[in-house]
Amino acid sequence: MNPHDASIVGPEALELRRQRTADAQYRVAESRRGWMDRQGYFYQLMAMMGWTSAPFLPFLKTETLIMMGDDDQIVPLANGKFLNFLIPNSELFVVENGGHLFLLSHVEESIEAIRGFLDRGAHKARKAA
């Protein structure tokens, strides 16, 4: 259907124009989205290369649980060991055969580690009171 066709008048013509406008807006949004995804990824990489919290970690006062998967292909276990070294009163819990999403693949083991960590903290707080 051609929206300029003289035989299409009234609401039919308006609906056809509305559909074409919506389609055009969708195509523009889709073309920008791919660019934005690439741009966002690039900015994340730039941020990771140019900033580190490492100098501030030794000043953390709270007990900290660091959880890592030993088979994580995105964040290597070495990062967790580095954090554990820098953060006083930290505990490193390593999930055996755990990948980057070990919280989803090793649910029970993760929950047990978190509960144990929190319970120890609660026990120390009660003891101190």
Both tokens of 30, joined, read 């889709």
Low-confidence ranges of the chain (pLDDT < 50): 3
Rounded Cα distance between 63 and 95, Å, is 19
Q: Phi first, then psi: what are they for 68, rounded to 5°?
A: -140, 150
| Coil, strand or helix at 101 | coil
Q: What is the pLDDT of residues 55-73, one digit of tens each?
A: 999 999 999 999 999 999 9
Closest to 108 in 3D by CA, of 119, 100, 98, 120: 98
Q: What is the pLDDT of residues 10-20, one digit of tens each?
A: 677 667 777 77
Which amino acid is residue 57, in one-letter code? L
To the question of pTM greater than 0.85 for the whole model, the response is: no
